[in-house]
Structure 1
């Protein structure tokens, strides 16, 4: 949901120390205690603002819920520890790139066991949440990234939103004046930097199996050119997406790449007139951007009755009605294509994201649990090129040859 949370859970592959909380007490609920298994324990890295949604679905399926919010960066290490100690929650939220890793460990149950499927959802949601042919997670809402622009600045410069790389480069140069850069994006040396570069990389034919290709080099050269033109700050190598948002809000960037989770801060800024369009591609075709969002899963707790109830609960969260409710709370996009189309009409600020999600790609779609290795190589190459330590071609070759 929030910028860092989209990619944060994968960071936990470094396995930070596990802090045992009251979560381990859930063995009573999962093991058949607490009213015959009618209490479901839920684990996520959301904030308390999500609790009413859980309470709503709990009421619908006839359950009580015990909610445990944990830090996103420590979630995966915690889940693996819980799996080994058999203290998994009844309902587990995971960042979508982590679903295949946890499913491969045997900690999750197939959602088909509860009559759930991904019919009618955007294709990438099914791909991200499936492992060896079985669906293990459902995302009620999703997100991606788009190009936000300052309407006043573009209008004053006589510019319409760009659709191609050439247009973006020309416009960014024209919009760069005084302390305002024409363009901003996050090129930080984390998965967040990779996430922001992917639309340029993928849309131009880049492939994570081998990042050292001419198509990838062309995409990286484009970003380097924006910096070399003076249209993008050299500080982008240290900016997270929240920092990019702050630059845009302060009027120091006329255009930025960011996600719908920034809408609350943008809308709260007095006098800021903005809109967004899908991220430009070299040819002007539809962008291939990364699919964001979190999935809800049913862990293998050993209690079939509670797992069945958890399946109903996950089904409730993914229902068309709840998708709209959750989208309203989070600012994200419903994953049901029909619901999303209706949402774009009634919520024009997310229309570009609804469009982008249609052609979005799951980060784990090609490499599965090995995706983090490729993500590290990609942001490493971006850093090498933007800091002038290597040409785009050499940076990609150097990063590709690194053993992760």
Structure 2
């Protein structure tokens, strides 16, 4: 009887131990499940998409708590979808936001405050941080910065006896000389997107113009310069439907002699047409030559997952790691100490470092996207001659004045 009881007891204990071990395994499996963090971006350059995936994969493999999942949303839909997601409390945990849109979106629903969470931000360039700083607090982490420069086809200029233009008069003359049946001297994005302002504002600013006074003489000059070039046949009317990516493709195919673009276009040109000889120079304007600063900012949702999202941002903010990845994206680093060391053997890309120092910042306000859309539509109307330029400018100036009054 004792033997039977002892055997039964052993069986019960064995079953219990096995059950407990099974519970522990389930608990361990459950504990090892990674927290999923959703990241949205709008980069349509294949190399940048690949480099981002590589960074995410590296982060996912180096720790066991977090899994970043990347979603690409086309640029033309990105802001609308992100704004909708934010209004429905469904914002992705991390979003790549254009610096010009940051305050507009933050005004809709505040992003997470990163000031104290990411000490490395204190080492970032002041100009890079300005769009995501509100009342002395930092609500975003700049990923990379850029600015606008002038790209020109060396062969076209040489064949037509032209020097690199340094004033708007020289620019207009050069564009006319290099134009023919197959080539337009210049093209500019005139879609209702922020890209058009990235290219147009240097013209406006260098002529002494102001977005709040576009009907006045100095501002009017910028619009009329492009209108006159279109009438002369040196500016492509296709501009009203071209994105910056389209411009790059037209330029590398030799269909456009001059364009305004960022350093991110350089690799696309070299890969698309290795034989094309091109140069990069400051946008014309003489002593008042100016560029527009831009870039992308990582915004974190104010939700229960923000601590996990911040860990990924800290991974990207590491100084040594940034040195490894930033050049591949074609961006300038948001840290000045790293920026100064970039592109040591690439004179075309290095030109942008100097230009960025003198670049102006678009208005930092929640109203800017509406002002920007009005300006880009004004440019489109003038190029297609919907009405006489002064009438168009007067109407647009009234719209912008009303937007400004709503601040």
Aligning the two structures, in what range does the TM-score lie when normalised by the shorter sequence? Answer: 0.7 to 0.9
Paired residues in the alignment total: 365
Given the superposition, is the C-alpha separation of residues 87 and 242 from structure 1 closer, same or farther in structure 2, using an over 3 Å criterion?
A: closer
State the alpha-carbon separation in 2 of the partners of residues 37 and 206 from structure 1.
56
CA deviations on 1:178-228 (whole Å, 9 max, x unpaired) are: 422222222234433233211111233332334333221111122222223
Runs of 4 or more off by more than 6 Å in structure 1? none
Q: 2:174 maps to which residue?
A: 171
Larger mean Cα displacement after TM superposition, 231-240 or 164-173: 231-240
Change (3 A) 1:116 1:102: farther
Contact 2:32–2:65, Cα closer than 8 Å, also in 1: no
In structure 1, the residue matched to 2:368 is 371
Check conservation: 1:140, 1:322, Cα contact below 8 A: no
- The 2-side partners of 1:354 and 1:263 are apart by 14
2:140 alignment partner in structure 1 = 137
TM-score with structure 2 setting the length: 0.79
Query: Deviations for 1:324-348, whole angstroms, at most 9, x for unmatched residues?
Result: 3333332222122222221142332
Is the 2:149–2:291 Cα contact (8 Å) retained in structure 1? no
CA offsets 1:66-114 (integer angstroms, 9 cap, x no match): 3131414444444445445554444332222222123223441111131
Higher-Rg member (1/2): 2
Match of 2:13 in 1: none
CA distance in 1, matches of 2:390, 2:124: 37
Question: Are residues 1:277 and 2:273 paired?
Answer: no
Instruction: Give per-residue Cα distances to partners, 1:223-270, cap 9 Å, x unaligned.
Output: 222223322123322322233223222222221122233223311214
Q: Partner residue of 1:69? A: 71
Q: Is the counterpart of residue 248 in structure 1 residue 245 in structure 2?
A: no
* Structure 1 gaps, min length 5: 1-32
In structure 2, distance between residues paired with 1:151 and 1:176: 14
1:44 corresponds to 2:40: yes
Distance 1:88 1:188, change over 3 A: closer
Aligned partner of 1:56 in structure 2 is 58
The answer (yes or no) to whether the contact 2:102–2:132 under 8 Å persists in 1 is yes
The Cα shift of 1:133 comes to 2.8
1:3-402 alignment runs, 5 A limit: 35=31, 39=35, 41-45=37-41, 46=43, 47-57=49-59, 63-72=65-74, 73-83=76-86, 86-116=89-119, 118-268=121-271, 269-281=273-285, 283-289=286-292, 291-301=293-303, 303=304, 306-365=305-364, 368-402=365-399
Preserved CA contact (<8 Å) 2:94 2:298: yes
Cα distance in structure 1, aligned partners of 2:86 and 2:235: 45
Q: TM-score, normalised by structure 1?
A: 0.80
Given that residues 183 and 232 in structure 1 are in contact (C-alpha distance below 8 angstroms), is that contact kept between their aligned partners in structure 2? yes
Q: Distance in 1 between matches of 2:218 and 2:32?
A: 57
**1:295-325 Cα shifts (integer Å, max 9, x gaps):** 1122211x3xx53443342133133333333
Larger strand proportion of the pair: 2
